[in-house]
Amino acid sequence: MNTAQPIRNLEDLKNFKNYYKEIHPNARNQLLVILGLNTALRISDLLTLRWEDVYNFSQNRWQEHIEIIEQKTGKTSCIYINHNIHACLQNYQAQLQKEQKPIQPEKYLFPHSNKNEPISRVQAFRIIKKVAAYYNIPGVICCHSLRKTFGYHAWKQGVQPAMLVSIYNHSSYEVTKRYLGIEQDDRDKIFQEIIL
């Protein structure tokens, strides 16, 4: 299979989430990983996020939701900012303050170092690939794996199919099942467990 795969193994997922926190500290890259895993947004949408999307500057507080018009579908998504995302945002903001780079509403969350634009998809791919290679995580792990990992583990934890279809803005549950490789996982489990 040459398509992006979710990170299925929980130990691999734990390691993946902590690489840019513990092994190779980098608050920006850590935020990219955590946002990708916890929002199910496509990388193209993640990279266009700005500080004003996560921080309310007029009220001097963190937003509760990210509201975004998805580039691919043109549909609006409203995504809750959970505790893990908040912690990474605060860590990143603290690092920027230490470097005397205060956050500003129009600045990208994932800025390119020499330009007033976000990092490229290629750079985001390198950030993700570096972690997957370090831990030797099986399968094709790339930026899209973050989005798929969210859905895969949501499904494993019992999230209703209709909710996953809604989160992904897919046309049907059949599309979502194929997207996450759920049907094949179900089949594999049967063949692993039924030994005659």
Q: CA Rg, the chain, in Å?
A: 18
Q: Is residue 3 part of a domain?
A: no
Please state the domain count of the chain: 1
174, pLDDT greater than 90: no
Q: Is residue 1 part of a domain?
A: no
What's the pTM value of the predicted model, to 2 decimals?
A: 0.90
Q: What percentage of the chain carries pLDDT values higher than 90? A: 71
Catalytic residue among 17, 19, 92, 144: 144
Contact 127, 27 (CB under 8 A): no
**Annotation marks residue 80 as catalytic:** no
Q: Is residue 131 part of a domain?
A: yes
pLDDT at 195 (0 to 100): 72
**Annotation marks residue 24 as catalytic:** no
81, pLDDT greater than 80: yes
Q: Is residue 147 part of a domain?
A: yes
Q: Is residue 145 part of a domain?
A: yes
Catalytic residue among 8, 50, 153, 170: 170
**Annotation marks residue 86 as catalytic:** no
- What does the DSSP assignment read for the chain? --S------HHHHHHHHHIIIIIS--HHHHHHHHHHHHH---HHHHHT-BHHHHEETTTTEE-SEEEEE-TTT--EEEEE--HHHHHHHHHHHHHHHHTT----TTSBSSB-SSSSSBPPHHHHHHHHHHHHHHHT--S--SHHHHHHHHHHHHHHTT--HHHHHHHHT-S-HHHHHHHHTHHHHHHHHHHHH---
1, pLDDT greater than 70: no
Tokens 């800025």 belong to which residue?
Answer: 111
Q: Is residue 2 part of a domain?
A: no
**Annotation marks residue 50 as catalytic:** no
Domain limits for position 51: 10-193
Q: Is residue 174 part of a domain?
A: yes
Indicate which CATH number applies to the domain containing 174: 1.10.443.10
pLDDT at 178 (0 to 100): 82
What is the amino acid identity at position 118? P
95, pLDDT greater than 90: yes
